[in-house]
Amino acid sequence: MFRTSLLLIAALIGFQASAATQVWDLNNSSGYSNSLSMNINGITANITGWSGTGYQNMNQAWIGHWSSGSGVIHSWDEYNSGTHHSMDNSGQYDAMLITFDQEVSLDSFSIGWHYNDSDVSVAAYTGGGSVSDLSGTSWNSFLTSGWTSQGSFSDLANNTYQSISPTVTSKSWLIGAYNPFIQNMGWSTGNDYMKLSGLQTSYSTTTEVPEPAVIALFLLGIATLAGRKRNV
């Protein structure tokens, strides 16, 4: 038993668990694109825009970039006319799909601009693997397609991070204007307009403890176990 305990100490004390945090800045110069790709500390995120009325399959939209954040654009006419430069729930429910190349916890997010109301819904993909395409999915079938609601948040202030307190880690996350198909809070729809300006994510890491600390912990473990053995 004594020898086994020492071997376990030697195997475990050389490593230390910690959490690495990333901050993703979605403020950008004017323009639009089919997707937005970013990389922080070796982690890659790809962001796409999606819209749907509820019972019809969703369509991919453009991601618009502004200094106050990123929004969802359905057509060139919208971009060129300056209308609906936001992620909203007017006519259709807009959302941004964020796909990472490893599982992360989406801890908080911020908006940089809003008009009228600013209610937001968040979901995580828990079906295994990742999702980068919502074609063929409707909001009505969303929660039966491997997605899990992570909450809805009301009356968000600009440039202030909103904590999510997620229950899972995932490679795919979705943030959209308040959507009762994700979580029905009884709030009004058709009046939420906002631009997403930032994300905060984290993931667990295991690092090797520096050698002097390993030796000190190992000796402490020996002394502790030896004392227990003498007292038996």
pLDDT of residue 193: 96
Q: Is the pLDDT of residue 152 over 90?
A: yes
- Name the burial class of residue 20, with classes exposed (0-12), middle (13-18) and buried (19+) by CB atoms within 10 angstroms of its CB: middle
Q: What tens digit of pLDDT does each residue of 165-174 get?
A: 999 999 999 9
Q: Is the pLDDT of residue 146 over 70?
A: yes
pLDDT of residue 74: 86
Task: Choose between 49 and 84: higher pLDDT.
Answer: 49
Task: Decide if 30 contacts 75 (C-beta within 8 A).
Answer: no
For residues 140-150, average pLDDT: 98
Q: How far apart are CA 180 and CA 202, in angstroms?
A: 27
Q: Mean pLDDT of all residues in the chain?
A: 86
pLDDT of residue 10: 45
- Listed in sequence order, the residues at least 6 apart from 193 whose beta carbon sits closer than 8 Å to its beta carbon are 86, 87, 88, 90, 114, 115, 116, 117, 118, 177
Angle, to 10 degrees, between the axis of helix 211-230 and the axis of helix 2-12?
160
Q: How far apart are CA 76 and CA 68, in angstroms?
A: 20
Q: How far apart are CA 134 and CA 170, in angstroms?
A: 16
Q: Is the pLDDT of residue 8 over 50?
A: no
pLDDT of residue 11: 47
Q: What tens digit of pLDDT does each residue of 177-207 get?
A: 999 999 999 999 999 999 999 999 999 876 5
Q: Is the pLDDT of residue 217 over 70?
A: no
Q: How confident is the model at residue 85 (pLDDT cuts 50, 70, 90)?
A: confident
Task: Please report the domains of the chain, with CATH numbers, ordered by start residue.
Answer: 19-208 (2.60.120)
Q: How confident is the model at residue 75 (pLDDT cuts 50, 70, 90)?
A: confident
- DSSP code of residue 122: E
Q: What is the pTM of this model?
A: 0.82
Task: Choose between 37 and 209: higher pLDDT.
Answer: 37
